[in-house]
Amino acid sequence: MIDRKSDETVIDLPQLWRLLRKNIVNLIVWMLAGGILAFLISFVFMTPKYSATTDILVNQKADNAQMQFNVQQADLQAINTYKDVLKKDVILDPVLKQIRQQDNYSGDIEKLQDAVSIENQTNSQVLSVKVTDKNAYTAADIANTIGSVFSKKIKKIMKVDNVTIVTKAIADTKPVFPNKLLNILIGVVLGLIISVAIIIIRNLNDTTVRDEKYLTDELGLISLGAISHMNKKTNRHAVSVLTDNHNIVTRRRV
């Protein structure tokens, strides 16, 4: 599998393929072990997390069509500001107080900030507030509370006169983390990679002489002959040659 006559390591792909086929059982065992380990980690050691999303529309009213277009462009430019405000203490502090009373939420303001993500499609005035928590119903309550608090606060902060909750968050009991199927697939692939690496390393460190070509091509030795393998059931004949007055005497023992 490796050309030792040059400084570079050359992989013989056909020989590598034969080596892997020869160790197909080991490959399967490692792949199964990786998949089972990933399954156990995903179902036993990882805490499931759930997400809920509420959609908020922020816009301002105008008296005529021309003014409405200008106002709409201004709203689009202010989207990043709205996204920033949504994760500030001015919004999350009242939210934290309310969900502590309503859901016995035990996290602090930093944990709440990490649980909240704000998404927005290009050229859209709709903000999607996504909350992730280990409890599906708590996640929905946090998202809806953020929407409610933001609707009241933003009118005073930025003088916005029209904030609408487009979609309220609903508890979804299907976890978004961990992705068990993906984890199992990763475990199977890692098991395959590890098994291939072990097989190759073991083969490279194996100095057993397998054929005559290895002696002549790799080590530069001269072959003087070959001895066939004999098992225990094979009759063994020992031959000794004696010389007596230049006459050759041959004796055979079975």
- Chain center to CA of 5: 39
Contact 191, 32 (CB under 8 A): yes
What element of type H or E holds 163? Answer: strand 162-167
Other C-beta atoms closer than 10 Å to the C-beta of 203 total 15
Name which of 124-133, 147-156, 220-229 the model is least confident about.
Answer: 220-229
Per-residue pLDDT band at 210 (split at 50, 70, 90): low
- What's the rounded mean pLDDT across residues 97-115? 92
With 0.85 as the threshold, say if the pTM is over it: no
Range among 60-69, 108-117, 149-158 with highest mean pLDDT value: 108-117
Per-residue pLDDT band at 79 (split at 50, 70, 90): confident
Q: What is the pLDDT of residues 149-173, one digit of tens each?
A: 998 888 888 777 778 899 999 999 9
Per-residue pLDDT band at 245 (split at 50, 70, 90): very low
Q: Say whether pLDDT at 189 is over 90.
A: yes
Q: Which CATH class is domain 50-167?
A: alpha beta
Per-residue pLDDT band at 75 (split at 50, 70, 90): low
Q: Say whether pLDDT at 2 is over 50.
A: no
- The secondary structure of residue 87, as a DSSP letter, is T
Q: What is the pLDDT of residues 30-53, one digit of tens each?
A: 999 999 999 999 888 888 999 999
Q: Say whether pLDDT at 235 is over 60.
A: no
Range among 12-21, 200-209, 216-225 with highest mean pLDDT value: 12-21
Domain residues of the chain, as ranges? 13-41+181-244, 50-167
Q: Say whether pLDDT at 242 is over 90.
A: no
CA–CA distance, 88 with 207 (Å, rounded to integer): 66
- CA neighbor of 84 nearest in space, from 158, 171, 20: 158
Q: Which residues of 118-157 are buried (b: 16+ CB within 10 A; e: fewer)?
A: beeeeeebbbbbbbbbebbebbbbbbbbbbbbbbebbeee
